[in-house]
Chain A
Amino acid sequence: MSTIYLMIPVTLLIASGFLIAYIWSVRDGQFEDTTTPAMRMLSDDNSSSPAAPDLNTKNKRN
Chain B
Amino acid sequence: MAKSLPVNLVTFAPSPPLAVSACIHCGLPCLTTAATKGDKHFCCTGCQTVYEILTENGLTHFYELNEKAGVQIKRPSRREQFLFLDEPVIREKLVDFRDGETSRVTFTVPGIHCIACVWLLENLFHLKPGIGRSTVNFPKKEVAIQFADAKISLSEVVTLMAMLGYEPTLSFGSLEGAKPKPAFRKLILQLGLAGFSFGNIMLFSICLYNGLDSWSVLNLKPLFGYISLALAAPVVVYSASDYWRSARTCFRQRVLTIELPIAVGIVAILAQSCYEVFSKTGAGYFDSLCGLIFFLLIGRWFQQKSYERLSFDRDYKAFFPLSVVRKNGDRDETVPLSALNVGDRLLLRNGELIPADACIVSGKGVIDYSFVTGESELVEKGAGDLVYAGGQQTGIAIEVQMTKPVSQSYLTSLWSHETFAKDRTDTFDTVLNRFTKRFTITVSVVALGAAAWWWAHGQPAVALKAFTSVLIVACPCALALSAPFALGTAQRLLGRQQVFLKNQHTIEMLAKVNTVVFDKTGTLTASGAAKVEFHGKPLSEAEERGIYSITRQSTHPLPIRIGEAIARRHTPETILSFVETPGKGMEARVTGQTIWMGSANWFVSRSATVPAELQSRGNSVHVAINGQYRGSFTLETALRPDADKLITSLTTNYTLALLSGDNERERVRFGELFGANANLNFNQSPLNKLGFIHDLQKSGKTVMMVGDGLNDAGALKQSDAGVAVVENIGAFSPASDVIIEAGNVPRLSQIMAFSKDAVRVVWLSIILSSVYNFVGLGIAASGRLAPVVCAVLMPISSITVVAFACSATHWLGRRHKLGGAPK
Interface residues of A (CB under 8 A from B): 1-2, 4, 8, 12, 15, 18-19, 22-23, 26-27, 29, 31-33, 35-36, 39-40, 42-43, 45, 47, 49, 52-56, 58-59, 62
Contact = CB atoms under 8 A, between A and B. Distances in A.
A30 B227 CA distance: 31
B99 A49 contact: no
Interface string B207-248: 000000000111010010001000000000000000000000
* Interface class of chain A by DSSP: loop
B118 A40 contact: yes
A-B pairs with lowest CB-CB distance, top 6:
A55-B132, A43-B119, A52-B133, A36-B138, A55-B102, A45-B61
Given A22-B192, A26-B189, A39-B115, A52 B102 contact: no
Interface string B170-185: 0000000000000011
Contacts of B97: 62
Given A43-B65, A56-B99, A62-B104, A2 B189 contact: no
A4 B188 CA distance: 33
Contact of B185 (A1, A26, A33, A45): A26
B125 interface: yes
Nearest to A53: B132
Given A22-B196, A54-B133, 20 more contacts: A2-B218, A8-B223, A8-B227, A19-B193, A23-B192, A26-B185, A31-B184, A32-B185, A35-B138, A36-B136, A39-B118, A42-B115, A43-B115, A49-B126, A52-B122, A53-B132, A54-B146, A56-B102, A56-B146, A62-B96
Given A12-B227, A33-B139, A39-B138, A55 B147 contact: yes
A31 to B, nearest CB: 6
Interface centre among A35, A45, A55, A62 (most CB of B within 10 A): A55
B525 interface: no
Contacts of A59: 99
B708 to A, nearest CB: 28
Contacts of B216: 1
Contact of B118 (A4, A26, A36): A36
B2 to A, nearest CB: 62
A32 B64 CA distance: 28
A21 B751 CA distance: 43
Contacts of B185: 26-27, 29, 31-32
A58 B97 CA distance: 13
Contacts of B148: 55
B192 A26 contact: yes
Contacts of A35: 138-139
Interface of B: 58, 61, 64-65, 96-97, 99, 101-102, 104, 115-116, 118-119, 122-123, 125-126, 132-140, 144, 146-148, 184-185, 188-189, 192-193, 196, 200, 216-218, 220, 223, 227
Contacts of B133: 52-55
Contacts of B125: 52-53
Contact of A23 (B104, B132, B189, B217): B189
A51 to B, nearest CB: 8
Contacts of A1: 216-218
A9 B146 CA distance: 46
* Interface class of chain B by DSSP: mixed
Contacts of B104: 56, 62
A31 B138 contact: no
B595 to A, nearest CB: 50
Nearest to A55: B132
Contacts of A36: 118, 135-139
Nearest to A16: B196
Contacts of B140: 33
Nearest to A59: B99
B132 A31 contact: no
Contacts, number: 95
B147 A40 contact: no
B96 to A, nearest CB: 7
Contact of A4 (B119, B135, B220): B220
A23 B97 CA distance: 25
Nearest to B216: A1
Contacts of B200: 12, 15
B619 to A, nearest CB: 44
B148 to A, nearest CB: 6
A26 B358 CA distance: 51
Given A35-B139, A55-B101, A49 B220 contact: no
Contacts of B96: 62
B730 to A, nearest CB: 15
B293 to A, nearest CB: 16
A41 B69 CA distance: 18
B241 to A, nearest CB: 16
A21 to B, nearest CB: 10
A23 B190 CA distance: 10
Contacts of A4: 218, 220
A8 B118 CA distance: 47
A60 B188 CA distance: 24
Nearest to A2: B218
A26 B348 CA distance: 48
Nearest to B151: A55
Interface centre among A15, A39, A47, A62 (most CB of B within 10 A): A39
A61 B193 CA distance: 24
Contacts of A26: 185, 188-189, 192
Contacts of B138: 33, 35-36, 39
Contacts of B136: 36
A27 B186 CA distance: 9
A14 B661 CA distance: 67
Nearest to B139: A35
A4 B207 CA distance: 12
Contacts of A42: 115
Interface centre among B64, B119, B223 (most CB of A within 10 A): B119
28 contacts: A2-B218, A4-B218, A12-B200, A18-B196, A22-B192, A26-B185, A26-B192, A27-B185, A32-B184, A33-B137, A33-B140, A35-B139, A36-B139, A39-B138, A40-B118, A43-B116, A49-B58, A49-B126, A52-B133, A54-B133, A55-B102, A55-B133, A56-B99, A56-B104, A56-B146, A58-B99, A62-B104, A62-B144
Contacts of B220: 4
A15 B231 CA distance: 11
Nearest to B308: A33
A44 B350 CA distance: 42
Contact of B123 (A19, A31, A52, A53): A52
Given A39-B118, A43-B115, A52 B99 contact: no
Contacts of A32: 137, 184-185
A11 B145 CA distance: 43
Contacts of B119: 40, 43, 45
Contacts of A56: 99, 102, 104, 132, 146
Contacts of A39: 115, 118, 138
Contacts of B188: 26, 31
Nearest to B133: A52
A40 B65 CA distance: 11
B99 A43 contact: no
A30 B370 CA distance: 43
Nearest to B223: A8
Contact of A52 (B58, B134, B137, B223): B134
B643 to A, nearest CB: 34
Nearest to A42: B115
Contacts of B192: 19, 22-23, 26
